Amino acid sequence: MLKKMVPTCNFAKRMYSTATGKVKAQKYVLTKYFQGEPKKSDFKIVEEELPELKEGEVLAEAEYLSVDPYMRAYMIGYKLPTDMIGGQVAKIISSRNKNYAVGKYLAGSFGWRTHTIVKPDDFNTPAGFIPVTLLPDFGTHPVSLGLGVLGMPGNTAYFGVKEICKPKPGETIVITGGAGAVGSHVGQIGKILGCRVVGFAGTDEKCEYLEKELGFDRAFNYKTVDIRAALKDGCPKRVDCYFDNVGGEISTTIMSHMNKYGRVAVCGSISSYNDMKLPKVTILQPAIVFKELKVEGFLVNRWTDRWNEGIKANLKWLNEGKLKYQEKVYHGFDNMVDALVGMLRGENTGKAVVKVK
C-alpha cells in the first residue's frame, strides 16, 4: 500500500514543479457599462499574484482568447467593477491533478485573463457559460479551434441545427450572420444533411466565400440587396428552416417567406447589441400563426451534458473535409477590445480569436 502511494506523490510533485515561483496574471476588469461600441476606456487591466496550487488544481496559461457577440450583450447584467467574461483555450503549465497533465489544453470560461488556477473537476462554471473541457487531440488542427468549430460556436451550430431546425434532406435552410463562426458552420451542416442552403452576410467577399468555398447554394449581401427579392430568387421553394443570428427586420421578412410548419432557431440578435434603444420591427405574429411556425430560442449550454458529442461530430466532419473554417486572428492581450469591436463590426469571416502572445 505504502509502496503504491510513493510514486503517486512523486508524480504530483514532478508535475507541480513545472511552475517556478509565484505567477502573476493579468486580467481585464470592466469599470464602465458599454455605451454603443465597447471602448478601451471601459476597462482597466489589473495584475494579480496567484496563490500556490492546491491538490486537484491546475494552472493554465491562455493561448487564445475568444471575442464573441454575447460579451457585448451580457455585461449589463453585472455589477461593476467586474472581471470580463469570455472563453479561452489555455495550456496547462502546472498541475496537481493526475487527470490534467502539463502540456494538455483546456477550454473554459475563464474570462479575459492570462493565467487561471482552476480545479477542473468542480469548476464553478458561471451560469450560461461553457463547461471546462480537456481538449481532445485535434491532430494537425490548431488548438484555437477549441474556441471555434471545435468549441462553443461549433456546438451552437451542431445542436441548433440538429435539435431545433431538424431539417430534412431537400428542405431549404436560410441563415443570417451566414459568414460568421456559427452561421458558416450551420450552412455547412445544412449541406451535409442534404439541404438547400442560403446565407446572408455583410460583404460581397463573404458571400463569394460562402458560395465558392463552403458550398452554400446562394449567398446575398444583406446591406445591398432587396431581402424579399433575394428570398424569391434564392429560395424558389420558400424557406423551411431559418437559423436566426441577427434578429430585426430581416428576420421578420424571412419568417414571412417560410413554408407551413417551418422551424426557426433563434440563436441571437446581433443587429441590436450595440444599440442604445431597442429597434422596432414589423409584427411577426401573422407569419408565425398563418404558417404555423415553430419558433424556439436556445442557449448552447442546454447541451452541456452532450458537449463532447458535438465536438466529436464536428472533428469527424473536419477530418473528412466536409467542414471548412476560417479564423480572424487578432494579436496581443492588449488588443482584446479592438478585436471585440472588430468582430461586432464584421471584420471577421469565421471565428474571431485573439492570440495572446
Ligand X SMILES: NC(=O)c1ccc[n+]([C@@H]2O[C@H](COP(=O)([O-])OP(=O)(O)OC[C@H]3O[C@@H](n4cnc5c(N)ncnc54)[C@H](OP(=O)(O)O)[C@@H]3O)[C@@H](O)[C@H]2O)c1
Q: Which stretch binds ligand X (CB under 6 A): 29-37, 48-56, 161-169, 339-347?
A: 339-347
User: Which residue do the cell numbers 471565428 mark?
Assistant: 351
Q: 307 to 326, contacts with ligand X by CB under 6 A?
A: none
Q: Mask: binding to ligand X, 14-53, rule CB under 6 A, as x and -?
A: ----------------------------------------
Residue of 146, 153, 187, 190 that binds ligand X (CB under 6 A): 153
Q: Shortest Cβ distance from residue 103 to ligand X (Å)?
A: 29
Under DSSP, is residue 184 helix (H, G, I), strand (E, B) or coil?
helix
Torsional class of 181: left (φ above 0), alpha (ψ -120 to 50), beta (otherwise)? alpha
- Spatial distance between the Cα atoms of 238 and 247, rounded to a whole number of angstroms: 19
Does 181 bind ligand X (CB under 6 A)? Our answer is yes
Q: 213 to 252, contacts with ligand X by CB under 6 A?
A: 245-246
- Spatial distance between the Cα atoms of 156 and 311, rounded to a whole number of angstroms: 10
Residue of 145, 165, 270, 336 that binds ligand X (CB under 6 A): 270
Grid cell, residue 303, equals 447541451
Residue of 202, 234, 262, 310 that binds ligand X (CB under 6 A): 202
Query: What residues have CB less than 8 Å from 334, skipping those under 6 apart?
Result: 45
Largest CA distance in the chain: 77
Query: What residues have CB less than 8 Å from 296, skipping those under 6 apart?
Result: 164, 263, 264, 265, 266
Residue of 84, 165, 230, 300 that binds ligand X (CB under 6 A): 300
Number of residues lying near ligand X (CB under 6 A): 29
Grid cell, residue 318, equals 473536419
Q: Which stretch binds ligand X (CB under 6 A): 46-54, 196-204, 212-220, 253-261?
A: 196-204
Query: What residues have CB less than 8 Å from 66, skipping those under 6 apart?
Result: 86, 87, 88, 147, 151, 152, 351, 352, 353, 354
- Spatial distance between the Cα atoms of 123 and 230, rounded to a whole number of angstroms: 47
Q: Shortest Cβ distance from residue 82 to ligand X (Å)?
A: 20
Residue of 343, 353, 354, 356 that binds ligand X (CB under 6 A): 343
Does 267 bind ligand X (CB under 6 A)? Our answer is yes
* Residue 341 near residue 270 (C-beta atoms within 8 A): no
Residue of 86, 111, 146, 183 that binds ligand X (CB under 6 A): 183
Residue of 50, 102, 299, 329 that binds ligand X (CB under 6 A): 299
Please identify, using beta-carbon distances, which residue of 111 and 153 lies nearer to ligand X. 153
Q: Shortest Cβ distance from residue 146 to ligand X (Å)?
A: 14
Please identify, using beta-carbon distances, which residue of 181 and 231 lies nearer to ligand X. 181
Residue of 147, 165, 201, 239 that binds ligand X (CB under 6 A): 201
Output phi, psi for 100, to 5 deg: -130, 85
Does 182 bind ligand X (CB under 6 A)? Our answer is yes
- Output the CA torsion 41→47→48→52 (10° steps): 140
Please identify, using beta-carbon distances, which residue of 167 and 202 lies nearer to ligand X. 202
What count of residues does the chain have? 357
Interface residues toward ligand X, by CB under 6 A: 68-70, 153, 156, 177, 179-183, 201-203, 206, 245-246, 267-271, 298-300, 343-344, 346, 348
